[in-house]
Amino acid sequence: MIALIDYGAGNTASVANALKSINADYKITNSEKDICDSEKIIFPGVGEAGFTIKKLHLLNLVNLLRIMKKPLLGICVGMQVMCERSKEGNSAGLGILPGSTDMFDPSAVKVPHMGWNRVKLLKENVLFNGIKDEIYFYYANSFYVPLNDYAIASSSHGLEFSAAVKKDNYYGVQFHPEKSGEAGLKVLNNFIELA
């Protein structure tokens, strides 16, 4: 069973619909027990990083998410809060990834970054098995994770940024796989099929 974390914001219903369409066994939850009993975890996004971290603290999930050894996929804000800090709300993150999120420069590009954008694969990874390089995924973000050693894919919006990351059992995607058609469903399915 996949624990789909419900922290009172985000696009949990959209991710649930995508999981349902690929016949995934999931449970929408914010229960520590359910998360511990699950095989994998999906942390959906859309929202503000500072609010998200506050909600995780209120739900007593911060330390649990930091020490998890099972696969966890963060989507959009779910990926951003994996960083040490977020400039959105100037808040501490989970500290899984080094560094801080940053905001796109509104004097240089349209903010928020909304719509379809190309993803360039940087490293071979099971998350992108069966997906062509330079395929389009759907984005809705004002903040981004800068390129780092854990980036497995990148995208560009005025500058190149991390489109996907992997560190140990933690995976993150800045785009919204649940809104990205067949390629997005393939990413979700690849995550679900991780051994």
* Catalytic residue set: 76, 176, 178
CA distance 106 to 50: 20
DSSP conformational letter for 77: H
State how far the alpha carbon of 127 is from the alpha carbons of 33, 50, 122, 189, in Å: 27, 27, 12, 8
Q: Based on the number of CB atoms within 10 Å of its own CB, is 101 exposed (0-12), middle (13-18) or buried (19 or more)?
A: buried
Angle CA(79)–CA(82)–CA(85) in degrees, nearest 5?
115
DSSP 171-184: EEESS-GGGSHHHH
Alpha carbons 7 and 58: distance in angstroms, whole number: 9
H helices of 40-174, in order, are: 49-58, 62-67, 77-80
Token pair listed for 98: 């080094």
